[in-house]
């Protein structure tokens, strides 16, 4: 079993209790800006082993009677057909996906708000689509001078122009399909309108990282810097918290930079600010639920290394803005080198001895298995089969997929489907393994081991295909590649 560094049950309890306290602090109405991913926070689950990717939404389920969800989407993102890189779908489609996901869990989605709306035709079409689907939709408008011109922002010509979102629950969670969607501005707009209506309400922020009560250069917080290297986020000591309480707390540059303006808005809207620092605004309890700091530090260093390899591959593939240099600095701060991942050295050695692309994987018990390229299998496919054998206790000499199954598939690819490379990708190998399982008990046993690979780290000596990378990630593997191609061709799709 993989080592556990985080107590997820404790987290669910503490987090829900903390949010209840914050609701009570503001007299029974709280707008909670929800940062990060709700359903699939795999970054948190990688750097805090034991954290479940759906922990946040499970926590909301504990509060379901009090929760109403508002989804914010930037109208400009709709117009640009902005796509979520991890899912490959547009932001407006992701809004519909999120609504379905929330509803399937018994959570109430009250409405959708189009932020920074200025008459975009695609946003108008989406607005009509939502209304047709029976989903309440509102518009918020660009505000001149936002966020610095506080007198104008907090006026009838500023926040006052926005539609007032009708809500009926004590906890209003404002979430979004991605960054830059206007979650905070939505919360501020609601506070302004509520105050004018005599409704007492408050604002708080829920983001897992950086973890405010861990040291600034703790590997978990440095892993957050690695994850947001392309956004130029920088962790820093919260100077307002230090001045107010004489205690150090970690926040990140954007929140620290905007706090004076945000604080002035609170005072303008409500007469006083409930917070003395940006850290005060947060409700995150994750730092209190780490039960093995060493495990979390080790996992975070592995995450930093993976982020570095990913950025190097991105640069190889033409992304001139890939934050390789910044990640190198983070690696130095966290004392990270390729040697910390046993799969890296094992893969490189296998490639050297076999004379071709290779891969290696660290299994749950800490052992390392390798795979090499052959006439019928790519390195990723060979590694996957070898890992299933090792985890299932199947002797390496036994055949999981017979040549009688493999060879016809290879012929089909080259003779009829127009492929030049006959080698099977991982998805094709799993299909062949499924077919073999009908007559081969060992193939059936190997197939049953797939869930055990979740969380394992795999490294390859060349950039693997998109098909292989997506399938391995869907199995829950943490994948990295050396920044080089198998061939010197210019086109590698």
pLDDT digits (tens, 9 = 90+) for 394-439: 998 888 988 778 888 878 887 877 777 778 899 999 999 998 998 8
**Residue 210: cis peptide before it, omega within 30 degrees of 0:** yes
Alpha-carbon distances of 83 from 79, 87, 90, 117, 244, rounded to whole Å: 11, 8, 4, 19, 41
Residue 463 has pLDDT above 70, yes or no: yes
List of residues 6+ apart from 415 with CB closer than 8 A:
none
Alpha-carbon distances of 443 from 170, 364, 434, 438, rounded to whole Å: 53, 20, 7, 8
Instruction: Give the other-Cβ count within 10 Å of 331's Cβ.
Output: 20
The number of residues making up the chain comes to 493
* Two tokens, residue 387: 């890992």
State how far the Cα of 45 lies from the Cα of 49, in Å rounded to an integer. 6
pLDDT digits (tens, 9 = 90+) for 105-140: 999 999 999 999 999 999 999 999 999 999 999 999
State how far the Cα of 112 lies from the Cα of 126, in Å rounded to an integer. 11
List of residues 6+ apart from 488 with CB closer than 8 A:
none
Residue 391 has pLDDT above 70, yes or no: yes
Cβ(297)–Cβ(218) under 8 Å?
Answer: yes
State how far the Cα of 307 lies from the Cα of 325, in Å rounded to an integer. 12
pLDDT-derived band of residue 446, with 50, 70 and 90 as boundaries? very high
| b/e sequence 134-165, b meaning 16+ C-beta within 10 Å | ebebbbbbebeebbeebeebbeeebbeebbeb
Long-range interactions of 117-120: CB distance < 8 A, separation 24+:
117/75, 117/141, 117/142, 118/75, 118/142, 120/75, 120/76, 120/78, 120/79
Q: What is the mean pLDDT of residues 154-173?
A: 95
Which pLDDT score is estimated for 491?
57
Cβ(450)–Cβ(475) under 8 Å?
Answer: yes
Residue 294 has pLDDT above 60, yes or no: yes
Q: Which domains does the chain have, with CATH numbers?
A: 8-289 (3.10.630.10), 341-481 (3.40.140.40)
Rg (the chain; Cα; Å): 25
Which pLDDT score is estimated for 84?
78
State how far the Cα of 42 lies from the Cα of 239, in Å rounded to an integer. 30
Q: What is the mean pLDDT of the chain?
A: 92
Beta pairing, strands 67-74 & 171-175:
parallel
pLDDT digits (tens, 9 = 90+) for 243-263: 999 999 999 898 898 899 889
DSSP run (H or E) holding 110:
strand 108-115
State how far the Cα of 466 lies from the Cα of 459, in Å rounded to an integer. 15
Cβ(350)–Cβ(358) under 8 Å?
Answer: yes
- Higher pLDDT residue, 41 or 352? 352
Q: Sign of the CA dihedral 146, 151, 157, 158?
A: positive
* Two tokens, residue 93: 């489609």
pLDDT-derived band of residue 85, with 50, 70 and 90 as boundaries? low
Cβ(226)–Cβ(327) under 8 Å?
Answer: yes
Beta pairing, strands 137-139 & 108-115:
parallel
pLDDT-derived band of residue 321, with 50, 70 and 90 as boundaries? confident
List of residues 6+ apart from 228 with CB closer than 8 A:
none
* Two tokens, residue 288: 């209190």
Residue 490 has pLDDT above 70, yes or no: no
List of residues 6+ apart from 259 with CB closer than 8 A:
240, 277, 278
Which pLDDT score is estimated for 26?
92
Report the DSSP beta bridge partners of residue 359: 371, 460
Residue 492 has pLDDT above 60, yes or no: no
Which pLDDT score is estimated for 213?
96
Nearest one of 176, 190, 203, 241 to 22, comparing CA atoms: 203
* Two tokens, residue 327: 């990640």
Q: What's this model's pTM, rounded to 2 decimal places?
A: 0.90
As a dihedral over the C-alpha atoms of residue 162, residue 167, residue 171, residue 176, rounded to 10 degrees, the angle is: -50
Q: What is the mean pLDDT of residues 89-102?
A: 94
Long-range interactions of 350-357: CB distance < 8 A, separation 24+:
350/461, 351/461, 357/460, 357/461, 357/462, 357/486
């Amino acid at each position: 079993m993989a080592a556990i560094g985080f107590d997820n049950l404790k987290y669910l309890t503490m987090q829900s209790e903390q949010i209840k306290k914050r609701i009570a602090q503001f007299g029974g109405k709280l707008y909670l800006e929800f940062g990060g991913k709700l359903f699939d926070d795999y970054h948190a689950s990688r750097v805090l082993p034991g954290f479940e990717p759906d922990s946040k939404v499970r926590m909301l389920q504990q509060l379901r009677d009090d929760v109403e969800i508002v989804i914010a989407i930037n109208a400009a993102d709709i117009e640009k057909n902005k796509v979520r890189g991890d899912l490959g779908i547009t932001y407006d489609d992701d809004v519909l996906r999120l609504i379905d996901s929330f509803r399937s869990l018994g959570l109430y989605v009250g409405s959708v708000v189009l932020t920074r709306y200025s008459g975009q035709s695609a946003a108008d079409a989406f607005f009509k689509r939502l209304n047709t689907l029976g989903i309440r939709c509102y518009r918020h408008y660009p505000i001149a001078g936002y966020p610095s011109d506080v007198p104008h922002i907090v006026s009838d010509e500023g926040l006052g122009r926005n539609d007032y979102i009708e809500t009926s629950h004590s906890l209003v969670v404002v979430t979004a399909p991605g960054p830059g969607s206007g979650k905070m501005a939505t919360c501020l707009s609601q506070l302004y309108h509520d105050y004018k209506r005599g409704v007492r309400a408050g604002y708080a922020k829920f983001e897992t990282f950086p973890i405010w009560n861990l040291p600034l250069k703790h590997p978990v917080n440095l892993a957050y810097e690695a994850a947001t290297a392309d956004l130029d986020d920088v962790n820093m000591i919260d100077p307002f918290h230090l001045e107010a309480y004489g205690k150090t707390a970690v926040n990140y540059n954007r929140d620290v930079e905007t706090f004076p303006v945000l604080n002035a808005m609170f005072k303008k809207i409500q007469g006083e600010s409930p917070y003395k620092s940006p850290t005060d605004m947060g409700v995150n309890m994750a730092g209190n639920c780490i039960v093995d700091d060493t495990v979390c530090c080790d996992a975070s260093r592995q995450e930093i290394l993976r982020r570095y390899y990913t950025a190097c591959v991105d640069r190889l593939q033409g992304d001139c803005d890939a934050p390789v240099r910044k990640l190198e600095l983070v690696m130095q701060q966290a004392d990270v080198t390729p040697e910390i991942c046993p799969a890296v050295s094992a893969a490189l050695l296998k490639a050297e001895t076999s004379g071709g692309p290779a891969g290696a994987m660290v299994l749950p018990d800490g052992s390392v298995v390798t795979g090499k390229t052959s006439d019928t299998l790519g390195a990723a496919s060979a590694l996957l089969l070898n890992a299933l054998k090792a985890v299932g206790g199947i002797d390496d000499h036994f055949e999981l997929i017979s040549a009688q199954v493999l060879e016809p598939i290879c012929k089909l690819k080259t003779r009829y489907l127009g492929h030049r490379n006959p080698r099977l990708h991982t998805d094709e190998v799993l299909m062949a393994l499924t077919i073999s399982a009908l007559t081969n008990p060992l193939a059936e046993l190997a197939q049953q081991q797939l869930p055990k690979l979740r969380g394992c780290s795999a490294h390859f000596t060349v950039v693997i295909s998109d098909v292989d990378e997506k399938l391995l990630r869907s199995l829950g593997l943490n994948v990295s590649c050396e920044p080089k191609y198998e061939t010197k061709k210019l086109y590698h799709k």
